[in-house]
């Protein structure tokens, strides 16, 4: 079975440009999570969806970040305008259910570099 699919794998762009990261969750999973990983802050939850509805976006750093999930098989994380401090690895994960005993399955991540 296909796992969580993210694109692009690498993105290098200049400060001020719009960046769009994409994620396809595992078919049938009803939860989708966006994480950011940096050396300084570790693995941080940005936002998560349940059945395409955003549940908790308290981890989204500021208004420059936005996320959508238009259907059960696709989600985007957008940064506009991008800044060098946004450089990080962004992971998407999905799970069947959420709570005590449901594992999250991570995609391979997008390594984002803002120059």
Query: For binding to another protein (CB under 8 A), which residues are involved?
Result: 42-45, 48, 55-56, 59, 91, 98-109
Q: Minimum CB separation from another protein for residue 1, in Å? A: 15
Q: Which is nearer to another protein, 9 or 80 (CB)?
A: 9
Taking the complex as a whole, how short is the minimal distance between the CB of residue 33 and another protein, in angstroms? 8
How many CB atoms neighbour CB 18 within 10 A? 11
Rounded to whole angstroms, how far apart are CA atoms 32 and 51? 8
Given the complex with another protein, which of 1 and 14 has the nearer CB atom? 1
CB atoms within 10 A of CB 16: 10
- The answer to whether the peptide bond before residue 81 is cis (omega within 30 degrees of 0) is yes
- Phi, psi angle pair for 80, to nearest 5°: -155, 115
Residue (18 or 56) nearer to another protein, CB: 56
In whole angstroms, the minimum distance from the beta carbon of 32 to another protein comes to 13
């Amino acid at each position: 079975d296909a796992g969580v699919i993210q694109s692009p794998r690498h993105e290098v762009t200049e400060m001020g440009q719009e960046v769009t990261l994409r994620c396809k969750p595992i078919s049938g999973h009803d939860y989708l999570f966006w994480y950011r990983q940096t050396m300084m802050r570790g693995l941080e939850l940005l936002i998560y969806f349940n059945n395409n509805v955003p549940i908790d976006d308290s981890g989204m750093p500021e208004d420059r970040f936005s996320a959508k999930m238009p259907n059960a098989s696709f989600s985007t994380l957008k940064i506009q305008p991008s800044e060098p401090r946004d450089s990080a690895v962004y992971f998407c994960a999905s799970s069947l259910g959420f709570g005590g005993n449901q594992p999250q399955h991570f995609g391979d991540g997008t390594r984002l570099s803002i120059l």
